[in-house]
Amino acid sequence: MALLALAACATPQERPQPSKPPELSRTGEAPAQPPAAIARPVPLPADLEATPAALEAFRRACPRLLKRVDQSGLTTPDDWKAACADTQSDPATFFARHFAAVRLGDGEGLATGYFEPEIAGLARPAPGAAPVLARPPELVDIDLTQFGSSYTGTIRGLVKDGRVVRAPDRAAIEAGAFSGRNLELGWAADPVDLFFLQIQGSGRLRMPDGGSLRIGYAGQNGHAYVAIGKLLRDRGVLEKAGMAEIKTWLRANPAQGAALMRENPSYIFFRRLPETIDGPIGALGVPLLAEANAAADPATLPLGTPVWIETTVEGAPFRRLLIAADTGGAIRGANRFDIFFGPGDEAGRKAGALAAPLGATLLLPKHAVARLPR
């Protein structure tokens, strides 16, 4: 699963779509023109380096690249065949052999981050705890492009009496819209932690017996994501609204905090994930690798694309080749990337504070780049 969004702590809301932000992190505008119209070939960055983790992340994406319809229109499945068949083990040689560099517009955009949190969980309901819900079986995702070229995007709703109707929003779900359905995978001891885990799109419930339950994105209720960090800044409540500051305010003001969280009508449903995988599942359906994957907008580039990112993380330069294998509800537009930092507190610190300008260079298959307008 996936997407952004708070203020800089991102997450794939809708990621895989899951897979799913600091508030600031999941905003962006769709490009005014199709990606192919604003894509321009450029030289490979002189300092471009590729890690074994980036190569592994790309190879995990390959089976989907060879079958997936590219919403951006930049590539076809055939474009990826040569790279996906190559068993070269040296990352630098591999990427130089198969890819050419492209920028979308000026290549400048916004970097945020997300991570895999672990929160206190419960096996049974308790006062103050919040249920972690599985996807309702009647929830459907409708790809509008199947109905003609004049339609774009995906809508989500519930099948009811032979029709698709709007799903309940967060407030209605928290009030019990799906209660009595046995959809509870477990309970989060702290509703604030669950809210942020939904923003991240995946994570673990740490159970009282010492065990854990790994959960990942299974669906979203179709309501637009609203960044509560931006609301707090716009209302003059907080000047700095990163993940840590927002959590502190929500817990210090429980009644107001609960009402504020309900102003984000988007709601994420989860599924159990195997404990044996080495990362959360992203939008391509494969596990994500720390600092080797990122979430992006699939309308602007094909998921699975290698992207050379230049930004700053905790005040230090961050230059990394990442594979865009995930999405996020607020990750929209060209050159908008949400970096996956992995599990744990350190990853959470990096992700929660990140909202920085970036430069992005896409690496597309050479055949695809040769077709671009000159």
**CA torsion 121→126→132→137, rounded to 10°?**
140
d(CA 156, CA 289): 28
**In this predicted structure, what is the pLDDT of residue 77?**
96
Domains of the chain (ranges; CATH) run: 24-370 (2.40.240.50)
Q: What is the pLDDT of residue 36?
A: 86
Note the pLDDT of residue 102. 97
pLDDT of residue 32: 59
Could you give the maximum distance between any two Cα atoms of the chain, in Å?
63
Tens of pLDDT, residue by residue over 171-223, are 999 999 999 999 999 999 999 999 999 988 889 999 999 999 999 999 999 99
* pLDDT value of position 328: 82
Residues in the chain with pLDDT values less than 70: 1-32
pLDDT of residue 15: 34
